[in-house]
Structure 1
Amino acid sequence: MEQPLASNEITSNRIAKELNEWKAREQRFEKLFSPDILKDKAFLKEKLGFYEHLQNKYSRSNVPEEKMTLIILARQNDLLRKQVYPNLWMRLLQRVLAPFREKQAERQTTISSDRNLSDLKEAVAKAGFETDGSKLAQHIKQGQREFSLPLSYYISENQKMDINLSFAKDASGAYRFEKYQAALTDTNKPQESKKQIFASDDQISASQAQNLLSGRAIKIETFDINAGSKSKWIQLDFNDQDPSGNHKLKEFHKDYGFDLQKAVSQLGVKENLTAKDQQVLLDALSRGEKPQVTIMREGKEVNLSIEANPQYKTLNVYDEHQKKISIAQALSGPEKPALKITEPTPQVIEQKSKRNGQKVR
């Protein structure tokens, strides 16, 4: 049986790449059924149609290696056509009908490609990324088995996010958004860059990935076919990695006992915020953000930043210099603190995202 083409041939010859994929497909069918399946007339018709499609698809190629491949492919087509259609008149009829079949196939391919492109753009946007549709379309047209698109944007003056979106063909031949690698780098300490690969099925958005890489915990919803929807907190463990280099996850389920609202109430939020503002704050903390709040102490405003700490069932509190302090230190003073949210609000978050300019390089 013919072996798949060598990898160096594939990279320089697009036709060879597609032929290699067909050979791999033949091998899979041979294992599933028997070697005789490759001689089945229905299978041979499918193979002939594929070969004819390749001939038409690359007929205008000026690449010497591909032009030579087309000459050999034409000869293979003639032999295969005689095998599928032994009758001369039937072969002539098939030659006449071939251009019409090819046009129909091209229309169907265009429709499928457009639908696939739309699905990919939607999946990437849902994850919180902006992509160049023309680059996605170009990769789909090239027909690679898999490809990636890089993104890069700043989230602050010294912090940069580098993203690599990965796409791959599924069993049907359509592309799907498979995963992305996110890397958070402090330009002042590039050697301390943190990175992680997230599968698209994990449904971790761009902002959530950023917060996880910043060391914060996020609250996510999961679905169990028996128990239904369940929530849990997750956080990257920077002291433990799997063999692929991904940081392992620390998980804190409902039974663990972390009550975010109770932790926030220790800062007097319940008494000093409206129900709506309190929910805005809880949502921000659940997303892994580090909102800034202002308390009144001894008649003066004191700015603090807070973040959820599910592992220790509390909040991490930082002063105006971003020095970590205890809740007791934050609350010290003769007057009872009156707390209000100063950031973020949904509008601020949205504007910040736009300023970051998440673009494809």
Structure 2
Amino acid sequence: MNRVLLAFKSWDDKKNELQPLLKAGTTDERAMLSLQLAHLQQAGHRLRQTVRPDEKPFMTLLYNHINRLEKQLYPNLLQRLFMRLKDRLVDGPAYLEQQTRQRAANMEVLKQQLGERGLTSVAGKLEQHLDPDHRQVCLPLDCQLNAAKRLNLDLHFEKDVYGDFQLKNLNGTLIEKGQADRFYQFELNDWPGLKATQALSLLEGRALKQHYTDAMGHESTRWVELGKNGVQHYAASHAFEIDAVLAAMPNITRNKEELTRYLENGQRVSTHWKQNGQFLNIYVQADPANRTLKLFDARMKPVTAEQLNQRAQQQAQNKQPEIILKAPRRVQKNGHKVN
């Protein structure tokens, strides 16, 4: 967008917010002109060093507008020249220095947050993407998962009241065979610490254990998943502990602590099913609705424990060595064959 025009538009938005105060007599026209002048002067300071060729003609319009406001506010020529020099030599450099420090700190915090969420691929050039003259920015991030499946993430940044960008929303769309399979807009205030891998797990229909702050301000955990009707939260009273379920299913092999961590993170984990010395490749994922684990065979097809036991038994039978019956040996004695 043309950033000069954007500066004018942002002032119009601010003026509309202040209009009720003007009508109520809380402020007056001169105060509004002073605020408008400060707003446009700051825009001029920000854009002076980075103005694009297509924006240069509009910079002339910006400076002309600033000059008209100065004449309205400071009819006295000497006062106007003094205020202009003060803005150019004192106020402007101080404003730019403050903006540089604030922006650097803001970018550093955002990069750390993106890294914690597994979104480091957009952190490297974040300064180029988040233009300081915009209030809202959307950054797309497309991830090809396999030949038929893709995850599209839209990162929505928005400036807060202090002028710092904050990552507000993470919109995820799971696309399979060219068609949007599932979409959800994650309001990050409601999903503290949500990682990109967890968003993928939820979009693919898997549940995860979420850390959150309850209405009393206490840290707590609950299971959550995305269903056909949106988000499904399981209350803390809906007891579902992975370690207890694994203890009741000793056929599942793998380090239990590691397996618990992966399952609570919403992942589908590869492991083995052991039965009578036989091992079958399987996958497992959490199923809080039924307080158990979903089982899948090596081809990712749903399977039950009974079916796995039957397959293990069949595998054992197929591996049994064959018993070859040999014909009795005939011995010849004194010219006669003896059995």
TM-score class, shorter: 0.7 to 0.9
1:196 to 173, 179, 184: 184
Question: Which aligned pairs between 1:158-173 and structure 2 lie closer than 5 A?
Answer: 158-173=148-163
Name the SS for the 2:170 alignment partner.
Answer: strand
Tell me, in whole angstroms, the C-alpha distance in 1 between the residues paired with 2:147 and 2:44: 53
Ranges in structure 1 where 5+ consecutive residues have no aligned partner: 1-10, 241-247, 336-361
Q: Residue 112 of structure 2: SS of its match in structure 1?
A: helix
Structure 1 counterpart of 2:261, from 277, 283, 301: 283
Give the alignment's TM-score, normalised by structure 2: 0.80
CA contact (8 A) 1:55 1:73 kept: yes
Q: Which residue does the alignment assign to 2:321?
A: none
Q: Which of 264, 279, 282 matches 2:246?
A: 264
CA deviations over 1:32-88 (Å, ceiling 9, x no partner): 564645536555433322222333444575656752x44443343233223433443
Structure 2 unpaired stretches of 5+: 314-339
Matches within 5 A, 1:5-44: 11=1, 13-32=2-21, 34=23, 36=25, 39=28, 43-44=32-33
CA distance 1:93–1:27, shift in 2 (3 Å)? same
Cα root mean square deviation, aligned: 2.8
SS in 2 for 1:255: coil
Question: CA 1:232–1:44 in structure 2 vs 1: closer, same or farther (change >3 Å)?
Answer: same
Over alpha carbons, which structure has the higher Rg?
Answer: 2
Number of residue pairs matched by the alignment:
309
CA contact (8 A) 1:267 1:327 kept: no
Structure 2 Cα separation of the partners of residues 36 and 82 of structure 1: 24
Aligned partner letter, 1:126: E
Percentage of identical aligned residues: 22
Q: CA deviation digits over 1:146-197, x for unaligned, max 9?
A: 12222222344543322121112222222111112222233xx333622222
Map of 1:189-338 to 2, 5 A cutoff?
A: 189-191=177-179, 193-201=181-189, 202-203=191-192, 204-226=194-216, 228-237=218-227, 239-240=228-229, 248-268=230-250, 277-331=255-309
Structure 1 segment 102-141 matched on structure 2, within 5 A: 102-133=92-123, 135-141=125-131
Kept in 1: contact 2:42–2:92 (CA 8 A): yes
Task: Please state how far the C-alpha of 1:311 moved relative to its aligned partner.
Answer: 0.7
- Tell whether the 8 Å contact from 1:113 to 1:140 is kept in structure 2 after alignment: no
TM-score under structure 1 length normalisation = 0.75
Q: Hey, what's the Cα distance between the residues in 1 that align with 2:72 and 2:15? A: 18
User: Is the contact between residue 14 and residue 66 of structure 1 (CA under 8 Å) also seen in structure 2?
Assistant: no
State the SS of the aligned residue for 2:206: coil
Structure 2 residue 127 is the aligned partner of structure 1 residue 149: no
3-state secondary structure, aligned to 2:121 = coil
Contact 1:294 1:303 in 2 (8 A): yes
Partner Cα distance (2:263, 2:54) in 1: 59
Q: Relative contact order, CA 8 A, sep 6+: which one is greater? A: 1
1:283 aligned counterpart, secondary structure: helix
